[in-house]
Chains A and B, each alone.
Chain A
Amino acid sequence: MTIEIPEQPGSSRPAVTPGKQSKLAFLWSSLLHSWTGMTGFIIILLLLFLSLFGQWIAPFDPMHAEFSKKLLPPMTDGHLLGTDQLGRDILSRMIAGARISVIIGVMTVLIAGTFGTVVGIVSGYFRGWLDVVLMRIVDVQLSFPFILLVLVINAIIGTGLKNIILSLAIGGWVIFARVVRSEVLALREKEFITASVATGVPRIQILFKHILPNLFTPIIILSSLQIATYIIAEASVSFLGFGVQPPNPAWGNMLSEGKDYIFSSWWLITFPGVAIMITALGVNFFGDWLRDTLDPELKGE
């Protein structure tokens, strides 16, 4: 019997070889083993699907009011989830609302994430007085309740989809700045950064070629978790009458409009409420899984 010894040029340990291709495979198999991650993933897929193709799936026009059919309970006249006080189909409005939620969640994360990351990098990498000034601004802003701040900004710049995204981003960038700054502070003390200083790499290149690629994972994780926060915040702001304005169907203002009928027609607020809850839960599940998989050191933080 012969034992084949695999050739390992000069190595005392077998080399594991997960290339870029198998990293995706690794993520997928990890996802298959996590029921929370999978649940979140499916919810996110469903949400994306609804927001992309909702207008063809929705059984009725979400804006079409028909007073003769107002406040129909679920499962009547083809209205699966019933109709609201103006006779509009709740299911169709919820599907249209999914699109608004996705747009707001993604756009806000893009804007807040980009701005916050830039501030965090400048603060953490260059330090000095700029760091002090920027971080005090962050401190001041963090001492305001998030929703209150968003409402105030909304009241100043006005309502509507664009403005709610802007005000959520203005309220939300500080989290990114904080997290990115602390990551940069930790990274710049790493030995491989010292090594590139010793090699003679210019400071700007160290930032873009060594620090930035290593920030990718924490930023992805934080973004996924922040999307849920922004979706809930948008719902809260819309519920309070700011943000997305009627008759546009956002989940938040569906709740707001339906609250007067809470005792007579429960379906008006129950379904949008459940949708918000499931979405937030799904995105959070997915974000938690992503964090545990990509960054085991952060587990439980």
Chain B
Amino acid sequence: MNPQFLLEVNHLKKYYEIPQGMFKEKIVVRAVDDISFSIKKGETFALVGESGCGKSTTGRTILRLTEPTDGEVRFDGEDIRSLSYEKMRLLRSRMQMVFQDPYASLNPKKTIREILMEPLRVHNKYEKKERMDKIRKILEIVGLSDHHLDRYPHEFSGGQRQRIGIARAVVLQPDFIIADEPVSALDVSVQSQVINLMLELQKEFGLTYLFISHDLSVIRHMTDRMAVMYLGKIIEVGNTDDVFENPKHPYTQALISAIPANHPRESKDRIVLEGDVPSPANPPSGCAFHPRCPAAMEICSRRVPEETDFGSGHTAKCHLYQMNEKREEKDEHAVIHS
């Protein structure tokens, strides 16, 4: 185990079985299909993909909010899948989550004081007197104040609620936070507020983030490395800058070309994908992207592409690059024989 990695995910799978009736075969939906990645301490790692590609499920499976079907999740060297419920519960003080919908993720019957006190109480952190000070401090950091303490969630705006959600996640001073589309339910004007808050908190507490999003501009702004998911599989991983500058997989290229231009006169060559994302219950053969891929070849529908390494941790799974490799191999042979 490499000590610089805080989280390692190996061959993680989450399948959902949908019974079709007594005598019919069950449909297996491969929401997360054999994905592996690692996150270094202190970095922000992004999972990108269209709706329904399994990125949220990945986040929830890592925290064991849904049990994985197979695979390994190592947090700080410890395999969390083998932990008992109680041990896992205690470990949760080190790994927290910020949810997508700030309207659904706060209990409507609890005041802000109760919502923020609960994590401290259940994990028995700090002396009882100290807790209130910690809560006040965290409230101040997220831009709320004392007089909000006894209000209920419905009395706040979406942005305020999301900041309460972030405060709840941070109040325990965890090492690792999974943020599941934390800004996609918010107005654009509030989004940057929340994102800057998350960056500030990262600096202050040395947090490691797994940032799940479909918003590429946000990802470019705040993440160090990113993984692109398509139909439950990771198809490209790399440093965020590398991937944006030089996307390898045709799907990544299409995603990045879809970012709105910065200036009205700026011309962009858009790659417009046709068709919809296929159902994960019945994924296409070979490379799952081939029916929509502008560069699809004959082999794409037959074989699942292997990983190609482009250096400095940038990898992609696409036959385009494997063909090159093979051609090079052949060339080498040719040279030797001549």
Contact = CB atoms under 8 A, between A and B. Distances in A.
B109 interface: yes
Interface residues of A, number: 26
Nearest to A213: B109
B120 to A, nearest CB: 10
B107 A9 contact: no
Contacts of A9: 143-145
Interface stretch (B2-10, B16-24, B88-96): B88-96
A199 B168 contact: yes
Interface centre among A12, A190, A192, A194 (most CB of B within 10 A): A192
A13 B187 CA distance: 11
A200 B119 contact: yes
A6 interface: no
A196 B118 contact: yes
B25 to A, nearest CB: 25
Interface in A185-200: 190-192, 194-200
Contacts of A198: 63, 65, 92, 96-97
A205 B118 CA distance: 10
Given A15-B155, A16-B155, A192-B105, A10 B118 contact: no
Interface string B151-173: 10011111110010100100000
Contacts of A191: 99, 101, 104-105
A195 B119 contact: no
Nearest to A201: B122
A199 B118 contact: yes
A297 to B, nearest CB: 13
Contacts of A12: 157-159, 187, 189-190
B302 interface: no
A126 to B, nearest CB: 13
A10 B145 CA distance: 10
A77 B110 CA distance: 61
B150 to A, nearest CB: 8
B123 interface: yes
B107 A196 contact: yes
B316 interface: no
Contacts of A21: none
A290 B105 CA distance: 27
A264 interface: no
Contact of B156 (A11, A190, A199, A202): A11
A34 interface: no
A70 interface: no
Interface centre among A12, A194, A197, A199 (most CB of B within 10 A): A199
A210 interface: yes
B106 interface: yes
B156 A195 contact: no
Contacts of A76: none
Interface of B: 60, 63, 65, 85, 89-93, 96-97, 99, 101, 104-110, 118-119, 122-123, 143-145, 151, 154-160, 163, 165, 168, 187, 189-190, 193
Given A10-B143, A191-B105, A210-B107, A200 B92 contact: yes
The 8 closest A-B pairs by CB, nearest first: A200-B92, A191-B104, A13-B157, A198-B97, A192-B107, A191-B105, A213-B109, A11-B157
B157 A199 contact: no
Given A12-B159, A191-B99, A200 B90 contact: yes
A143 interface: no
A17 interface: yes
Contact of A195 (B90, B105, B123, B189): B105
Contacts of A13: 157-158
Contacts of A201: 118, 122
Given A190-B104, A191-B104, 10 more contacts: A9-B145, A12-B157, A17-B155, A194-B99, A196-B107, A197-B65, A199-B122, A200-B122, A200-B123, A201-B122
A201 B121 CA distance: 9
A11 B63 contact: no
A101 to B, nearest CB: 33
B187 to A, nearest CB: 6
Contacts of A194: 60, 65, 99, 105
Interface in A240-272: none
Contact of B159 (A10, A17, A195): A10
A190 B119 CA distance: 18
Nearest to A15: B155
A194 B59 CA distance: 13
A17 B187 CA distance: 22
Interface centre among A11, A16, A195 (most CB of B within 10 A): A195
A213 B65 CA distance: 22
30 contacts: A9-B143, A9-B144, A10-B159, A10-B193, A11-B157, A11-B160, A12-B187, A12-B189, A12-B190, A13-B157, A13-B158, A16-B155, A191-B101, A192-B105, A192-B106, A192-B108, A194-B60, A194-B65, A194-B99, A195-B106, A198-B92, A199-B122, A199-B168, A200-B89, A201-B122, A209-B118, A210-B110, A213-B107, A213-B109, A214-B108
Interface in A1-54: 9-13, 15-17
Contacts of A15: 151, 155-157
Contacts of A192: 104-108
Nearest to A12: B157
Contacts of A202: 89, 122
B109 A214 contact: yes
Contacts of B187: 12
Contacts of B157: 11-13, 15
A199 B159 contact: no
A28 B101 CA distance: 32
